[in-house]
Amino acid sequence: MPALLSLCPKLYTMSNSQLSEQEVQRREAMLKLREMGIEPYPAALYPVNHLSDKIKENFEEGKKVVIAGRLMARRIQGKASFGELQDSAGRVQVYFNRDEICPGEDKTMYNDVYKKLLGIGDFVGIEGELFRTQVGEPTVKVEKFTVLSKSLKPLPLPKTDEDGTVHDAFTDPELRYRQRYVDLVVNPHVKDVFVKRTKLFNAMREYFNNAGYLEVETPILQPIPGGAAARPFVTHHNALDIPLYMRIANELYLKRLICGGFDGVYEFSKNFRNEGMDRTHNPEFTAMEIYVSYKDYNWMMDFTEKLLEHCATSVNGTTKAVFGEHEVDFKAPYKRVTMRQSILDFTGFDIHGKSEEELREGAKSLGVEVDETMGKGKLIDEIFGEKCEPNYIQPTFIIDYPKEMSPLCKAHRDNPELTERFELMVCGKEIANAYSELNDPIDQRERFEEQLKLSEKGDDEAMFIDQDFLRALEYGMPPTSGLGIGMDRLLMYLTNNQSIQEILFFPQMRPEKWDAPAGPELTDNEKIIFDILSKEGSMDLGALKEAAGLSNKQWDKGIKGLGKHGLTKVTKTDDALTVEVVD
């Protein structure tokens, strides 16, 4: 154990596992700095006055700057050295010259502090002057540097060559998602996605606020999870001694606020659904829901296409977005196709006026899998999902859904079997869903009761009856149109990411195991061998193996393990191997 560290054994176990050589070296460097009177984690404010991008954009020879960031590269050549400092805006080259930094006899700051005790990943502050190297690179000549935070773990070091090819990239998705902080440091493009995420939210918020609508907050812990068909997470409130559910949607609360007299309310809603996880589903995700009174779904379609055009432009500077092999254009207006027409277009089958049995036969003849529990609405939805949905690449409104699928939506003004509902399809997936909201309290109660029947038939996603919501409708809700947008999915389209995990800072993952072995814990095999050996103190290797009675594999693992723990030692004499206990 290195001398300095032996004084501070705690430093060895600060993280989850045993320290690598590099981690030990960094800890030693940190302690050495402190010994020299340089605090590796100083408290004082550091007076940063420039960012790397502005230095390069508005370069002025001889200008004095104060910058700070992580040291991300070093090219040391004797008394001079070039480094790269990375701050929130990017990287800038810095030039360390021994005699600039240490004008006197004492060259410690360059020779020891900079060259030996600092490393890649450390935060340093730099005061210096701008100049261009012979190659023309804008560079900060360091006059004084300050250690701001010593990094104890080595960062992965991707490198970009002259052709722009990245070598040794930090690409393992598991590591990137679990250690997003590292991902953000070494993969600059990852940051861009999250900047766009915030731009998208800001653009949408701006659009709604300009229209005069109010951003609100509604409960996340709900006694009755409503507003969507999904399995909720359940928790328990101790003081009330009742179960509470994490919200699966905020629809019913926002509509209560419309009952209360707001013209328009919206909320960016973290929703929670206890369902499968994959590259497009995270247990918590963000939806935006907006409700506007005295409007219908036709108005909402106009509003939605203008909204998305505005958002796409704000995020990417253009209405066009590339997603995988597709180029999508969010420029309004979008095509509007009824569900009946869509199915007719892609299958030639007309669902109009068909009985449940006729629909089932129709579905079967189209090769769509169906079963006996499916009602009319479900059957139509299956046919649409299977045969039509994947075909809509450019933004397209699909309108007039069957009633059974939409328990919160107003019946169609021209056809009581349908509802005034649209979904917006992009790249074969739904990204928005909107209704002329059902405000007839009697009708709403009946729809809830139908859901209850579904639930009794075993549909674990059917909705509960929300009596308080019905009471609000009985007091009266004006005609209202509502819209929900899957923000994560929309962002995936706008940033060309195929995985939801790429656009969430911290996607849900199975927890890591952090069990740190406290000292040399022996396995069963090691114990058996060690017990026998410790009675003798020293034994012939063959005899010990015989006495232990273990299989070859177990013996091998056991004896090697003991050696590693430093408990035993094997010595070779002329014709024998002897094992002895180490004190």
Partner RNA sequence: GAUUCUGUAGCUCAGUUGGUAGAGCAUCUCCCUUUUAAGGAGAGGGUCCUGGGUUCGAGCCCCAGCAGGAUCACCA
Instruction: Identify residues 374-433 at the interface with RNA (CB under 7 A).
Output: 385, 429-431, 433
Please report how close the Cβ of residue 153 comes to RNA at its closest, in angstroms: 7
Please report how close the Cβ of residue 285 comes to RNA at its closest, in angstroms: 3
Please report how close the Cβ of residue 252 comes to RNA at its closest, in angstroms: 15
- Position of tokens 């004190």? 583
Helix or strand run (H / E) with residue 159: strand 159-160
Taking CB under 7 A as the criterion, the residue among 488, 492, 548, 559 binding RNA is 488
Please report how close the Cβ of residue 310 comes to RNA at its closest, in angstroms: 21
Judged by beta carbon, residue 154 or residue 478, the one nearer RNA is 154
- Footprint of RNA on 301-360 (CB under 7 A): none
The site for RNA, by CB under 7 A, has a size of 86
Nearest to 537 by CA among 583, 582, 581: 581
Parallel, antiparallel, or unpaired: how do β-strands 264-272 and 214-215 relate?
parallel
Judged by beta carbon, residue 259 or residue 374, the one nearer RNA is 374
Please report how close the Cβ of residue 579 comes to RNA at its closest, in angstroms: 17
Please report how close the Cβ of residue 471 comes to RNA at its closest, in angstroms: 26
- For 78, other C-beta atoms within 10 Å of its C-beta total 6
Residue 32, interface with RNA (CB under 7 A)?
no
Residues 19-37 as b/e (b if ≥16 CB within 10 A, e otherwise) read beeebbbbbbbbbbbeeee
Please report how close the Cβ of residue 554 comes to RNA at its closest, in angstroms: 5
Residue 455, interface with RNA (CB under 7 A)?
no
Please report how close the Cβ of residue 194 comes to RNA at its closest, in angstroms: 17
Please report how close the Cβ of residue 512 comes to RNA at its closest, in angstroms: 8
Judged by beta carbon, residue 17 or residue 49, the one nearer RNA is 17
Taking CB under 7 A as the criterion, the residue among 221, 234, 322, 509 binding RNA is 509
Give the sign of the dihedral formed by CA 244, CA 250, CA 251, CA 257.
Answer: positive
Residue 25, interface with RNA (CB under 7 A)?
yes
Judged by beta carbon, residue 450 or residue 536, the one nearer RNA is 450
Please report how close the Cβ of residue 62 comes to RNA at its closest, in angstroms: 12
- Position of tokens 């979008």? 334
Choose the binding region for RNA from 55-63, 237-245, 338-346, 505-513 (rule: CB under 7 A): 505-513
Residues 6 or more apart whose CB falls under 8 angstroms from that of 542 comprise 577
Judged by beta carbon, residue 22 or residue 534, the one nearer RNA is 22
- For 244, other C-beta atoms within 10 Å of its C-beta total 19
Please report how close the Cβ of residue 125 comes to RNA at its closest, in angstroms: 20
Give the sign of the dihedral formed by CA 23, CA 185, CA 503, CA 426.
Answer: negative
448 three-class SS: helix
Residue 551, interface with RNA (CB under 7 A)?
yes
Taking CB under 7 A as the criterion, the residue among 116, 144, 413, 471 binding RNA is 116
- Footprint of RNA on 278-307 (CB under 7 A): 278-283, 285
Please report how close the Cβ of residue 98 comes to RNA at its closest, in angstroms: 7
Choose the binding region for RNA from 195-203, 272-280, 393-401, 535-543 (rule: CB under 7 A): 272-280
Between CA 27 and CA 150 the distance in angstroms is 9
Cα–Cα distances (Å) from 100 to 103, 109, 545, in that order, read: 6, 11, 66
165 three-class SS: coil
Taking CB under 7 A as the criterion, the residue among 57, 58, 60, 99 binding RNA is 99
Choose the binding region for RNA from 53-61, 128-136, 304-312, 437-445 (rule: CB under 7 A): 128-136
- Footprint of RNA on 207-246 (CB under 7 A): 228-230
- Footprint of RNA on 177-196 (CB under 7 A): 177
Between CA 381 and CA 526 the distance in angstroms is 62
Taking CB under 7 A as the criterion, the residue among 52, 93, 419, 439 binding RNA is 93
Between CA 552 and CA 196 the distance in angstroms is 59
Judged by beta carbon, residue 162 or residue 241, the one nearer RNA is 162
Residue 15, interface with RNA (CB under 7 A)?
no
Judged by beta carbon, residue 160 or residue 571, the one nearer RNA is 160
Choose the binding region for RNA from 174-182, 295-303, 447-455, 527-535 (rule: CB under 7 A): 174-182
Residue 557, interface with RNA (CB under 7 A)?
yes
- Footprint of RNA on 49-78 (CB under 7 A): 74-78
Judged by beta carbon, residue 24 or residue 258, the one nearer RNA is 24
Cis peptide before 333 (omega within 30 of 0): yes
Residue 510, interface with RNA (CB under 7 A)?
yes
Please report how close the Cβ of residue 212 comes to RNA at its closest, in angstroms: 28
Residues 6 or more apart whose CB falls under 8 angstroms from that of 423 comprise 397, 398, 401, 430, 432, 433, 434
Cβ(62)–Cβ(51) below 8 Å: no
Please report how close the Cβ of residue 330 comes to RNA at its closest, in angstroms: 17
Residues 41-50 as b/e (b if ≥16 CB within 10 A, e otherwise) read eeeeeeeeeb
Taking CB under 7 A as the criterion, the residue among 144, 159, 364, 527 binding RNA is 159
For 24, the token pair is 């030990």
For 286, the token pair is 């963000």
Cβ(308)–Cβ(426) below 8 Å: no
Residue 546, interface with RNA (CB under 7 A)?
no
Helix or strand run (H / E) with residue 177: helix 173-178
Cα–Cα distances (Å) from 235 to 222, 240, 328, in that order, read: 10, 12, 41
- What is the CA 474 to chain-centroid distance, rounded? 42
